[in-house]
Amino acid sequence: DVKVTQSSRYLVKRTGEKVFLECVQDMDHENMFWYRQDPGLGLRLIYFSYDVKMKEKGDIPEGYSVSREKKERFSLILESASTNQTSMYLCASSFHSLNQPQHFGDGTRLSIL
């Protein structure tokens, strides 16, 4: 089975802190994704990556950056956390071809105080 592991289930940080969310997958997937999930808004794509050191902006990239130094790891960075970034963050991965489903981690519930 595909395993997508997010480093923390719950995280509490303070406004202005630099926050790192880590995601690791074990299926040699080329694609990796970061979404945020908010009630009534569904899942919104923040960034995705096709390959090591490659990244593409999603729908809501403002206030975030990403890093992909190794194929299996995709990090989401909140450069200066703000309260409106309190949310559930979901990481996903997939093969880079048509028709491939995305596999999700269990999510990180991030609270910014």
Partner 1 sequence: AQSVTQPDIHITVSEGASLELRCNYSYGATPYLFWYVQSPGQGLQLLLKYFSGDTLVQGIKGFEAEFKRSQSSFNLRKPSVHWSDAAEYFCAVDQAGTALIFGKGTTLSVSS
Quote the tokens at residue 15.
Answer: 């406004």
- Does position 48 bind partner 1 by CB under 8 A? yes
CB-facing half-sphere around the CA of 50: CA atoms within 13 A = 5
Number of residues that bind partner 1 (CB under 8 A): 26
Instruction: Please select the residue that binds partner 1; options are 13, 71, 73, 103, rule is CB under 8 A.
Output: 103
- Does position 60 bind partner 1 by CB under 8 A? no
E-state strands within 39-86: 42-49, 56-57, 64-70, 73-78
**Min dist. Cβ of residue 80 to partner 1 (A):** 26
The number of beta carbons lying within 10 Å of the beta carbon of residue 44 is 13
Interface residues toward partner 1, by CB under 8 A:
4, 31, 33, 40-43, 45, 48, 50, 56, 58, 90, 92, 96-107
